[in-house]
Amino acid sequence: MTDIQSRVGELHRLLNQYSYEYYVKDNPSVPDNEYDKLLHELIDIETQYPEYRAEDSPTVRVGGSAQSTFEKVNHDTPMLSLGNAFNEEDLRKFDQRIRDRIGDVEYMCELKIDGLAVSLKYEDGRFVQGLTRGDGTTGEDITENLKTIHAIPLKINESRTFEVRGEAYMPRKSFFSLNEAKAANDEQPFANPRNAAAGSLRQLDSKLAAKRKLSVFLYSVNDFTQFNADTQSEALDELDQLGFKTNQERQRVQTIDEVMAYIKKWTDQREDLAYDIDGIVIKVNALDQQEVLGFTQKSPRWAIAYKFPAEEVVTELLDIELSIGRTGVVTPTAILEPVKVAGTTVSRASLHNEDLIHDKDIRIGDSVVIKKAGDIIPEVIKSVLDRRSKDAATYHMPTHCPSCEHELVRIEGEVALRCINPKCQAQLVEGLIHFVSRQAMNIDGLGTKIIQQLYENNKIKDVADIFYLTKDDLLPLERMGEKKVDNLLNAIEHAKSNSLEQLLFGLGIRHLGVKASQVIAEKYGTMDELFNVTEETLMGIHDIGHKLAQSVVTYLENDDIRALIDKLKEKNVNMTYKGVKTSELEGHPEFKDKTIVLTGKLNQMTRNEASNWLALQGAKVTNSVTKSTDLVIAGEDAGSKLAKAEKFGTDIWSEEDFVQKQNEIEG
C-alpha cells in the first residue's frame, strides 16, 4: 500500500468518525475547522490522484455534477401512508381494534417528523440508491442528493443488503439560515422547513442540495430478515448500532393512557425541539403481532398517526383582496399582519365569499382568529369583537370585476359573485394555469409566473399556444436558463401523449370535474366522437346530470372551441382515451355494478381514496341518493343523504363496516 493510499484510508476513517459524532450523536469531538481542514486535504488528493476517489468517499458530501432529471423507480415494496387520528376517541378506537384482534399489546410511540419520506437501499453494506416516497409505488431516484446528508452513512461496518426508510428534514437552524440568505438576495423565502427540505432534495444540482444542510431520522426497515430484532424497538436499536440516526425521543408504552400522556408531553414541548414535528406515530411494537394484523391497501393496520390539532392565533386583518378564478368566480382573501401559525408565517387566508364575511361579521381592521385547517390551509375563524374599532365599517363586495371592470352577477342559487366576460384577462390566465395543472395536462415546470409572463408578452393566448412555444419564446423570460427551457419543452412534448380525460378536464368546461372527465372519455373514446353527443345521450350516462350535459354540449358546439381542438391536433396532442375500461375490471362481487354514495367525514381515508378503491371493485360512486342507490357509506356528521337513505330503506354502512369489508377483501 502506498503512502498516499494509506493517508486516504486514514482520512476516510477520521472524517466518517467526526461526521458520525457531529451529525448522528450530536457530540462532536473536534472543532468544525479541523473537519474542514481534513476534508480539503482529501479533496486535494483526489483531484491530483482521481484513482483513489472511492464511491463512498466523504467528499461526495459536497455534491457532484448536476443531473438533467430524476429517474422514476418502483419501490421493492410500496411505501404506504399511515391512517390518521385527530383526537383521543380515534386513538381509543384504534387501541380497541388492536386488542380485539391480538389481545395484550405494547406500543412504540415516536415523533412524527415533518419532512420528506425517503427509502435508502444498501448492498453489501454500501449505500447504493435513495428514493422519494412518490405515489407510494414509484419514487424518484435522488441518490446523489441524499449522499450530501451527513447523517446518512455511505457505508456501514457490516456486509448486509437491506432497505431502511425514514424522514429527511431540514433542522430549524438550517431553515432560518437558508431564508436569511434568500431574503438577502431578494428571493422568495420558503414557507416552512418541510417545503424547504422537499425543494432541496429535488435540486438537480447536488452541490446546491449539499448547501442546505439537511438531516434524516430513520424509522423502519423494509425487510427484517437481515435483522436480529423481534420488535420495532429492537430494530431501531440495531439501526443505532449500525451507525444510522434514529430519533431518541421514542418510548415504549403498555396502555393507551400512556400513549395519551406521551402525546400531551410532546404537544407541550414540540417548540423546544430543533426540528418540526406534526404529530405522533403509534406502532404495535412486536413484529409478529404486526404480521398478524397486516395491511390494508393503503396503510398498515398496526400503526396510526396522531395529528396535532390546528393552532389558533390572533392577528390583524389589514385588507381584503379579490381574485378572479377561471370560471369568473370572485374570491375574497384576507390580507393579514404576518403571524406564525403551526410553524409557518401566514399573511393571507381565504374568506370564501361575501355571505361568509357577513355571517361572521368580519371587517377590515379587526383583530381576527385564524387557524390552519389540517395544519395546512389558513382560514379566518372569527373577529375579536371587544377589540373592534368604533369606525370599522361592514365590508361590501364590488359591483364590477377588478380585472376587466365588467359588471359582476350572482347566478340564482349560488353564493359567489361572478364575472361573465369571456375576454376577462384574469379568467384567461387562470384557465391556462388550470390547463397545465397536475390533475389536468400536468406540464411540470410551467408554473403561474411563467404563464403570466407568456400571456403578458403575447406568447400564449389560449391553451393550444402552449404546444407552439419555442426556445426563443422561453429564453427571454425571468430565470429561464438553457437547461430549464429544455426541460420545460420536454415536459410540453410529453404532455401531448396524455389520455383524453386529462385534456377534457384541462379545457376547464364548467361543472366538468376529474371524475366526470374520466367517465365521459371512457364512454366515447375520442374527441371526434364527443363532438357528436347530445344532452340526452350524455344524461344517459350514470352520474351525468342536466347541468353538466348542457355545459359540455354547449362548450363543444362553439366554433371557437372546434378551432382550438383543430389547433391542438395540428401539434399532435392526443385525442383518445388511454385508460383502463371499467367494464374490463374484474372487481369484487360485493361491489361490482353497485351504485354507492359516500357521505359524512371519513377518518381512515380521504373521500377520493374511498371512491378510487370502490371504482377498482367495479362500483359506481355517485353524489346523490336515489331509489336506485344500492349502498350508502356514512362517516361522521352525515346529514341529508343519510336521512334520504333511511327513508328509501337503502343499505347503510358505517366507515368501520366499510374498512372491515376492505380488510376482508384484501386478506
Distance CA 27, CA 22 (A): 5
Is 424 assigned a ligand-binding role in the annotation? yes
Distance CA 227, CA 235 (A): 7
Is 572 assigned a ligand-binding role in the annotation? no
Question: Phi/psi class of residue 646: alpha, beta or left (left: φ > 0; alpha: ψ in -120 to 50)?
Answer: alpha
CB 505, CB 513: distance < 8 Å? yes
What distance lies between CA 625 and its chain's CA centroid?
31
Is 529 assigned a ligand-binding role in the annotation? no
| Residue 51 CB neighbours (<10 A) | 7
Distance CA 595, CA 601 (A): 19
177 CB-contact burial (10 Å; exposed 0-12 / middle 13-18 / buried 19+)? middle
Phi, psi of 68 (to 5 degrees): -90, -25
H-helix or E-strand spanning residue 595 = strand 595-599
Is 33 assigned a ligand-binding role in the annotation? yes
Coil, strand or helix at 579 = coil
Is 512 assigned a ligand-binding role in the annotation? no
- Beta bridge mates, 108: 252, 283
Residue with the three cell numbers 406500543: 107
Residue with the three cell numbers 444542510: 213
SS3 for 404-455 is CCCEEECCCCCCCCEECCCCCHHHHHHHHHHHCCCCCCCCCCCCHHHHHHHH
CA distances from 146 to 50, 81, 116, 196 (A): 22, 21, 12, 14
Is 438 assigned a ligand-binding role in the annotation? no
Which residues have CB under 8 Å from 136's CB, separation 6+? 75, 78, 79, 80, 81, 298
DSSP letter string, 629-655: --EEEE-BT--HHHHHHHHHT-EEEEH
Is 627 assigned a ligand-binding role in the annotation? no
Is 367 assigned a ligand-binding role in the annotation? no
Is 37 assigned a ligand-binding role in the annotation? no
Is 354 assigned a ligand-binding role in the annotation? no
The single residue of 25, 37, 93, 112 carrying the catalytic annotation is 112
Is 109 assigned a ligand-binding role in the annotation? no
360 catalytically annotated? no
Is 178 assigned a ligand-binding role in the annotation? no
Which residues have CB under 8 Å from 31's CB, separation 6+? none
Side-chain half-sphere exposure of 18, counting CA atoms within 13 A? 18
Is 401 assigned a ligand-binding role in the annotation? yes
Query: Residues at the annotated binding site?
Result: 32-36, 81-82, 110, 133, 167, 283, 307, 401, 404, 419, 424
Catalytic residue numbers? 112
Binding residues for NAD(+), by number, are 32-36, 81-82, 110, 133, 167, 283, 307
Binding site for Zn(2+), residues? 401, 404, 419, 424
